[in-house]
Structures are given as C-alpha cells and as structure tokens.
Amino acid sequence: MSEDIPTPPQPPVPATPAGPPEIVETRRGMFGAKGSGDTSGYGRLVSPVLMPGPTPRPYGGVFDEIADRIEAGLGEGYAAAVERVVVDRGELTFVVHRERLLEVMRLLRDDPGLRFEMCMGVSGVHHPGETDRELHAVYPLLSITHNRRIRVEVTCPDADPHIPSVVSVYPTNDWHERETWDFFGIVFDGHPSLTRIEMPDDWPGHPQRKDYPLGGIPVEYKGAQVPPPDERRVYS
C-alpha cells in the first residue's frame, strides 16, 4: 500500500545580487584622523568606504511581499517616498526621503499586512565624503505579528541636518533620538524635548561624528597628567 510522501519545504527565492557598490569616501590611515600624530603605523593605508548599491527585483522570499505591500499602501506616492531598496547581508532596507518619513512609518505600523509594531531605536551614521547626504539615520523595525525585521534609512546633508521626529508614531524613540542628536547632531524636528542625554548640556560639538577631533580631555591619574592623544609624542 502506497503512502503519501510529504513535499519537502521549498528553499526561499534567492535575492538578486545588489548593484555595484558605491564609493562614498576614501579613508587614509587607520582611523581617517587628520591633524594629529599618527602613532599607529598605518598612516599610508588607503581604503575606500563602500556602500551597497540599490537592489533590483526580485528581492527574494518574504522581502518581495513586504515591498509589494508598501508599494500598494503608498500608491502613486511610492516613487516620491522611497529612494531605493537595498538587500544586503540578509537585511532589507528602504531608503526613504525625509519629507515622507512619517507617512512611511505610519504605514509600516498600521497596515495589517505589515504591522511593524516596534521601532528598536535610531542609529546615526556620518559619512563626511558623501556629498549632500553626509548624515544617515537608520531605524530597525520589528513586526511581532509576522515575525519579520526590516530597516528604514533616511539621509540629510550637514548643511541642513533636519529629519522629522518619529516619536508621534513610535513614542519609545524619544531617548534614542536624543542620543542621536547628542552624538551626531541630527535635529529631529517635532521632538518633544531634544536635549543632550549622554554628554553634559554645555558640551561643544557631537563626539561620534568623524570630523570630531580625536583629542580627549586631560586626565589626572595619581598626580600625573595624561595628555589627550593629539598632544602626545609623534613617532616619525
């Protein structure tokens, strides 16, 4: 008597390879530091900073379902809202124009087929060589309903470092936006109280930007003064 043989699960559709990577800047030295003594021995190191290019369809598996749902939800405004879609290292990222960020976030939270109920925060990124988009804000999103994760990314120029606050959509981003403002100088318009959260209120500048000087604060240790790195001896 024959038995029914179960059909094995089908593997996910492989993602289409992303386009050629984009060179956003060229780093010289170990940390790209300028104006201070290089004691690392890597002063002649030259390396490009590469970012993955946009990914063409199909993205693969559930990624296409998510993209279809977003495109349907935004309708004719999709092209004006989504700058590019990137699939890299198993992550799906929607790069969104800052003017449409709140609209996209509300759709991701409220659409029954998406239901990204949780925004896990926002991380700042600074690429000084990426002209007119030097500052990036990256939002990791989690759907508990569908057990899915995606990322939303927004860029803005150094000359106009403004991005809408998403606290009205995801209230738990309150302190995360304050931290990103504190360290990177991104101004989240509409935030209820955008003040420093880690550094003192009178701290000059934003210390996680790549153009922030490496020199630190002189530290007194057992009566001896430890100078900041840019004031130490240069070995040449």
The pTM assigned to this predicted structure is 0.80
Q: What is the pLDDT of residue 1?
A: 47
Q: Specify the number of domains making up the chain.
A: 1
Cβ 228 vs Cβ 218: under 8 Å: yes
- Mean pLDDT, residues 132-152: 97
- In the numeric block, the tokens 């290019």 are attached to 53
Residue 74 lies in a domain: yes
Q: What is the pLDDT of residue 7?
A: 53
Alpha-carbon gap, residue 208 to 229, rounded angstroms: 16
The string of DSSP codes covering 90-153 is TEEEEEE-GGGHHHHHHHHHH-TTT---EE---EEEE-TTSTT--EEEEEEEEETTTTEEEEEE
Residue 47 lies in a domain: no
Residue 119 lies in a domain: yes
Residue 86 lies in a domain: yes
Residue 112 lies in a domain: yes
Alpha-carbon gap, residue 178 to 151, rounded angstroms: 20
CATH of the domain at 193: 3.30.460.80
User: Whose CA is closest to 19, among 57, 60, 61?
Assistant: 57
Tokens of residue 199, six digits = 């550094």
Residue 196 lies in a domain: yes
**Is 31's pLDDT higher than 70?**
no
Q: What's the pLDDT tens digit per position in 96-128?
A: 999 999 999 999 999 999 999 999 999 999 998
Cβ 51 vs Cβ 82: under 8 Å: no
Q: What's the pLDDT tens digit per position in 189-236?
A: 999 999 999 988 888 889 899 888 766 666 666 667 767 766 766 555
Residue 77 lies in a domain: yes
- Parent domain of 176: 54-214
Q: What is the pLDDT of residue 232?
A: 65
Cβ 214 vs Cβ 230: under 8 Å: yes
Rg (alpha carbons) of the chain, rounded to whole number: 22
Residue 33 lies in a domain: no
Q: What is the pLDDT of residue 219?
A: 60
